[in-house]
Amino acid sequence: MHRSYHSFDMSTFAAQLFSLSALLCLATACDSEPAKTRPPPPDTRSTTCSNERELGEDTSARRGLLRGDVSGDGRQDEVFLAVDEGAEPGCRALLFVTAQDGVTAVSLDVEEGDLGLGLPAVAGLKQIDGGGGAEIVVDMAAGASTFFAGVFVFADGSVEQVRIDQSLPPTENLFAHGGGVGQLSAADCAADGAILISTAVAEARRYRVDRHTYRFDGLRLARDPSEDETHRLRFGMIPRSFPEFAGPPFSSCPDA
Ligand SMILES: [Ca+2]
């Protein structure tokens, strides 16, 4: 009887002790509880990717770093890519811009095979749309010998890709450049703020060169069919006659 009473007494005491410590925890915020007085840092993500902040800070994930004025305020900004091949599709490659107002990112739509080829890669900073800061040229995909570049504009604190009217997947909104003896592709600035998108395709004895002129309408490039040109000439004459074929894409555009 005594033993039983003693045992009961001990368990009651233990229960009371537990309740007391639980009450103390609630009143003073135990160390297992996060401090509620400090607000969490604001969600400054600019993509829907949960790895954005981590990728932006992980210098080992970076591919290249370029400096130039992309925001148009006259100061040097930083542009870099960060790659996380293990992330979910759509979040494997992010393009970051560090400007006066902070860090902004955009996720790049890249194929797994291109990630293995070292793409995407920042190809350069050029004044392409004729105003504000420089645009960011990013090689996004590769074919047998042709590369496909996206052009990104930093405006109003975010980075957005230039869209090309009537371009279709899988190279939608991408500028083809390079190639081989069968076909060459090129993109460059032309007079009066226009953009040239050109191809040279082998025919029986000559190459057929098609030059299409596009003009900016906001972030969209709209084709002006009235300025379409078609020429036929020998392969060696192509870069001499049409400078867009003579170098990397957007070579004639002003530097950042
Ligand atoms: Ca610009």
* Tens digit of each residue's pLDDT (9 = 90 or more) over 166-221: 999 999 999 999 999 999 999 999 999 999 999 999 999 999 999 999 999 999 99
Residue 38: the pLDDT is 52
Q: Map tokens 């060169």 to a residue.
A: 209
Q: What's the mean pLDDT in 227-246? A: 97
Q: 80 pLDDT band (50/70/90 cuts)? A: very high
Question: Going by DSSP bridges, is the β-strand pair 121-126/135-142 parallel, antiparallel, or unpaired?
Answer: antiparallel
**Average pLDDT value over all residues in the chain:** 87
* Residue 142 burial class via C-beta count within 10 angstroms: exposed 0-12, middle 13-18, buried 19 and up: middle
* pLDDT surpassing 50 at residue 67: yes
How far does the centroid of ligand 1 lie from the alpha carbon of residue 224, in Å? Answer: 21
- Coil, strand or helix: which one is 55? helix
How far does the centroid of ligand 1 lie from the alpha carbon of residue 145, in Å? Answer: 29
Q: What's the mean pLDDT in 26-31? A: 44
Residue 29: the pLDDT is 43
* Tokens describing residue 241: 């006659």
How far does the centroid of ligand 1 lie from the alpha carbon of residue 22, in Å? Answer: 61
* pLDDT surpassing 60 at residue 35: no
How far does the centroid of ligand 1 lie from the alpha carbon of residue 152, in Å? Answer: 9
Top pLDDT among 5 and 219 is at 219
Q: 113 pLDDT band (50/70/90 cuts)? A: confident
Residue 209: the pLDDT is 98
Residue 40: the pLDDT is 43
Rounded CA gap, 10 and 247, in Å? Answer: 87
Q: 117 pLDDT band (50/70/90 cuts)? A: confident
Rounded CA gap, 96 and 107, in Å? Answer: 9
Q: 101 pLDDT band (50/70/90 cuts)? A: confident
pTM strictly above 0.85: no
How far does the centroid of ligand 1 lie from the alpha carbon of residue 28, in Å? Answer: 55
How far does the centroid of ligand 1 lie from the alpha carbon of residue 254, in Å? Answer: 10
- Coil, strand or helix: which one is 60? helix
Residue 62: the pLDDT is 95
How far does the centroid of ligand 1 lie from the alpha carbon of residue 106, in Å? Answer: 17
How far does the centroid of ligand 1 lie from the alpha carbon of residue 135, in Å? Answer: 5
Residue 189: the pLDDT is 98
Which letter does DSSP use for residue 162 in this model? Answer: P
Residue 227: the pLDDT is 97
How far does the centroid of ligand 1 lie from the alpha carbon of residue 140, in Å? Answer: 20
Residue 16: the pLDDT is 53
Residue 116: the pLDDT is 85
User: Which residues face 221 on adjacent strands?
Assistant: 164, 216
How far does the centroid of ligand 1 lie from the alpha carbon of residue 236, in Å? Answer: 33
* Cα–Cα distance list, 237 to 55, 135, 207, 234, 246 (Å): 46, 30, 10, 5, 10
Q: 43 pLDDT band (50/70/90 cuts)? A: low
